[in-house]
Chains A and B, each alone.
Chain A
Amino acid sequence: DAGVTQSPTHLIKTRGQQVTLRCSPKSGHDTVSWYQQALGQGPQFIFQYYEEEERQRGNFPDRFSGHQFPNYSSELNVNALLLGDSALYLCASGLAGAPPDTQYFGPGTRLTVL
């Protein structure tokens, strides 16, 4: 049983570009949450998707958007990249209504903005 998978593993972009990151949840999970982890910091919540809708959102600008597909996989899109968007982007999947400690994190996508 594959756990949470993310692609790509690493990505290098330049300021002003747009990027799309992908996440496949653990089998049987139906919620996907995205987090941004800057160097030396803890992960910061971006948003959560369930039933193909954004259910909760953290303190991130509209440049950060997402999508959830019928198969529960999800994409994170970031427009007009800034140097400060360089970070490890983590995806966590879970089951709606289940305790929070049943969420699993993927290995992350490391984004570098030059």
Chain B
Amino acid sequence: RKEVEQDPGPFNVPEGATVAFNCTYSNSASQSFFWYRQDCRKEPKLLMSVYSSGNEDGRFTAQLNRASQYISLLIRDSKLSDSATYLCVVTNTGNQFYFGTGTSLTVIP
């Protein structure tokens, strides 16, 4: 079983739409949780950290449910510039990153 499972999409949404991505992880001892954004043929960049209390940054909201081993990302009022691949990441005690396969988002004018 993979450490991190994500729906690969693709998600094609109109500008202004709200879109949600989900991710599950298999290791209950996972330490830290993140969403990374990766543009085509570029390196992943940290979008936001994810906490049990929830984390909001502008139009982006991330949530962690440790009991269900589930992570989510909500993007409100989608912009064309949000088009990218969104990677769910968990770490173990050694700060080793485990990435999901990524979810592709295209925001359509």
Contact = CB atoms under 8 A, between A and B. Distances in A.
Contacts of A92: 97
Given A101-B49, A103-B97, 15 more contacts: A33-B96, A40-B8, A40-B101, A42-B4, A43-B87, A48-B96, A100-B32, A100-B34, A100-B91, A101-B46, A105-B44, A105-B45, A107-B43, A108-B43, A110-B41
Interface residues of A, number: 25
Interface of B: 4, 6, 8, 31-32, 34, 41-46, 49, 87, 91, 94-102
Contacts of A101: 32, 34, 46, 49
Nearest to B98: A45
B95 A35 contact: no
Nearest to A4: B43
Contact of A44 (B49, B95, B99): B99
Nearest to A107: B43
A48 B81 CA distance: 33
Contacts of A55: 94
